[in-house]
Amino acid sequence: MDIESIFKAIVGRFDAEKMADINASVQFSLDGGDDYFLKIADGNCDYGKGQIEDPSATVSMAADDFKDLTTGNLNPVMAFMSGKIKVDGDMSTVMQLQQVLAG
């Protein structure tokens, strides 16, 4: 599955009730892939390719690790602890997104 398809799937499984209180944008900087972002606001989730201005957090990781993370083949906590995932900005927003990212 390519990165674009993964982001489409993330938006498709977004649960507005569970994420109703979140208004945030997260930049994904993927080594070996393109930059993408997720924007969650007012119970809606959308993604885009490229950079978003003033993200709540930036997640940096290898594109292959991102694929593994979103398919459940990479434990997000272990990946963070081992340095495979780097987070700049609001860590709590990224933690809340875990339920949306993993398929």
Mean pLDDT throughout 43-52?
94
As a residue count, the chain comes to 103
Residue 100: predicted pLDDT? 72
What mean pLDDT, rounded, does the chain reach? 90
Report the alpha-carbon distance of residue 70 to residue 56 in Å, rounded. 20
101: nearest Cα among 7, 5, 1: 7
Residue 98: predicted pLDDT? 77
Is residue 63 helix, strand or coil?
helix
Report the alpha-carbon distance of residue 85 to residue 66 in Å, rounded. 9
Residue 97: predicted pLDDT? 82
Above 70 in pLDDT, residue 103?
no
DSSP letter for 97, please.
Answer: H
Catalogue all structural domains in the chain, each as residue range(s) with its CATH number: 3-101 (3.30.1050.10)
**Which pTM does this prediction carry?**
0.90
DSSP letter for 16, please.
Answer: T
Report the alpha-carbon distance of residue 26 to residue 33 in Å, rounded. 16
Report the alpha-carbon distance of residue 26 to residue 35 in Å, rounded. 11
